[in-house]
Amino acid sequence: EELTYGKEDYTSTSYNELNNLVEEARLVLAKENPSQVEVDLALRNINEGLKNLQRKANKDQLIKLYDSLNKSLANGEISLDKYSEESMNALTEILAKAKELIENEDASQEEVDSIYEKLIEAHKNLEEKEILQEVDKEKLNLLYEEANSIDRNTLTLSSAKALEEALNNAYEVLS
């Protein structure tokens, strides 16, 4: 008969290994005259199997973060429109690894904690793209034309020089 007590608390690999050792011990005890060496070995193996039992990792925080980031990707809060391709690739790569780990029943707590930290880091390191907005240059163009029509002969030398500098700067912006 298979052991089932506490099965949900331990990784399937370590629990199955212990179960196999218990089954081997049962076979030894089922013998008509097992030797003391066989009984001692079976007992030692079961004790070793108990020591090697690994608790399942607590993935609650990882799952919440994973779900939250996937939701943000799905609704466009996080997208290539807003963030650099490199930083988005880093995030999606870690999300794929997190999904594998979430689905892995034998994942260790260290692995879960590590991927959780990497997900936080990848999210934190998303680089926003510079969004270039169309600028209305109409007012500057009107001022440029008006200033350019000023007769330089009516200005002092320093004023004419300042006007030329301003016109050159405006021209650069308008081009």
Q: Which residues of 49-74 are buried (b: 16+ CB within 10 A; e: fewer)?
A: beeeebebbebeebeebbeebeeeee
Q: How confident is residue 4, by pLDDT bands cut at 50, 70 and 90?
A: low
The answer to whether residue 139 scores a pLDDT higher than 90 is no
Q: How confident is residue 164, by pLDDT bands cut at 50, 70 and 90?
A: very high
pLDDT, one tens digit per residue, over 68-124 is 999 999 998 998 888 999 999 999 999 999 999 999 988 989 999 999 999 999 999
